[in-house]
Amino acid sequence: MKKIAFVGEAVSGFGGMETVIGNVIQAFRADTPSVMSKMFFFCRKDQMDKGWLNGIDAAYSFSSNKLGFLRRAKHIRAFARWLQHEQPDVVICIDVISCLLANRARIKSGLTFPIFAWPHFSLDHKKHAEYVTWADYHLAISSGIKQQMMARGVPESRINVIFNPVAPKDTIIPMPAPGDVPTFLYVGRMKFEGQKRIKDLLDGMAVLEGPWKLHVIGDGSDFAQCQRYGREKGIDERITWHGWQADPWALVRNEIKTVSALLLTSSFEGFPMTLLEAMSWGIYCISSDCMSGPADMISDSQNGRLYPPGDVSALTAVLQQFISAPPEVDPVAIQQSIHRFYTDVYFEKIKAILHHATEKSVQ
């Protein structure tokens, strides 16, 4: 295997998916310099922030045609030409619609190579999720997404659950000292209801008894609405709204300094990297047991707690415990609990999967 092509629709440039893809490509560069990784994007407009590519060789197909079948036809032709020029050994699709486009482009190019589907979001909440079946093999980032793939007809034998990687840390972010004010943390997009359900978070915090602080890192379309709701609930003075941060964990380490627990109140996820990032710093996590991802990472009471999605009373009960009788938390044990997600373990697994697929393709 000498060349890998990562292909997908244009992304914002600021999400966790971009971080994971960039890290995987950089890992291939460092571990196996002979393997070249390139990217190809299907775009409507040239609006993607490209800073995250960080020197990654990328090509683009642009079409703003409002007729979907004409837009797809242009992308297929452009990608087929690119394939003929680049001759990749494997193509990895980072979203579901790219599975269809890559499959059609492969036929048009006359080449033979395996196509992997590597979607980073819950299939139950994505348009055209059935297109995932156009790939030959499938990389599931959570056990829940594996089940969603199988529900759409993908054979279990064609699916590898690989999760997403996080880099191990050589230090910890400690809990507040005994007697200090419990300090909670949210890192993510500002969606009042919908996926992230910041409303649940604020409702839960509003009925807590005793002192507490909440730091919110992130931005989004509902940022002002979330702030306004905090004021309406009478808790805004306890909340620090930091907005979007290029390096949120630098802010946590240098300014917040101690964290009781990271909070996630989502109604659904793909594989919420904010949980892994927090645990890699030794931070306890409290999350909704949503589909999908949190249950793969959190072992109850070892490195965090799960509560039923949408159950604000259950969330409040867990948070109240941190105020009334904080649990004993071992940050180093939390770091060790996610060993299987660390970059070196992850990279060896994905490398073996890709080599196996390309060898089968050649035979």
Cα dihedral 15→125→73→116 (10° resolution): 70
Yes or no: domain 183-340 corresponds to CATH 3.40.50.2000: yes
Quick one: average pLDDT of 74-78? Answer: 98
pLDDT at 361: 53
Contact 191, 300 (CB under 8 A): no
Show Cβ contacts of residue 11 under 8 Å, excluding neighbours closer than 6 positions.
17, 18, 41, 48, 94
Quick one: average pLDDT of 350-354? Answer: 91
Residue of 260, 240, 261, 263 whose CA lies nearest to 251: 240
Instruction: Work out whether the CA dihedral 30, 35, 37, 38 comes out positive or negative.
Output: positive
Quick one: average pLDDT of 114-133? Answer: 93
pLDDT over 70 (residue 140):
yes
Cα(350)–Cα(3) distance, rounded to whole angstroms?
15
363 falls in which pLDDT band (50, 70, 90)? very low
Quick one: average pLDDT of 310-338? Answer: 94
Residue of 98, 92, 134, 148 whose CA lies nearest to 116: 92
Please give the distance of CA 257 from its chain centroid, rounded to a whole number: 24
Cα(28)–Cα(157) distance, rounded to whole angstroms?
25
pLDDT at 301: 77
For the beta sheet containing 304-307, the strands, ordered from the edge strand earlier in sequence to the opposite edge, are 239-243, 213-217, 183-187, 261-264, 285-288, 304-307
Q: Which of 283 and 301 is assigned the larger pLDDT?
A: 283
Contact 6, 38 (CB under 8 A): yes
The whole-model pTM stands at: 0.85
Tokens of 242: 């930091």
Percent of all residues in the chain with a pLDDT value above 70, rounded to a whole number? 99
Quick one: average pLDDT of 233-241? Answer: 97
Q: Is 310 left (phi over 0), alpha (psi -120 to 50) or beta?
A: left
pLDDT over 80 (residue 362):
no
Mean pLDDT across the chain, nearest whole number?
A: 93
Pick the CATH number of 3-165+342-362 from 3.40.50.720, 3.40.50.10490, 3.40.50.2300, 3.40.50.2000: 3.40.50.2000
Stretch(es) of the chain classified as CATH 3.40.50.2000 = 3-165+342-362, 183-340
Tokens of 327: 């649990």
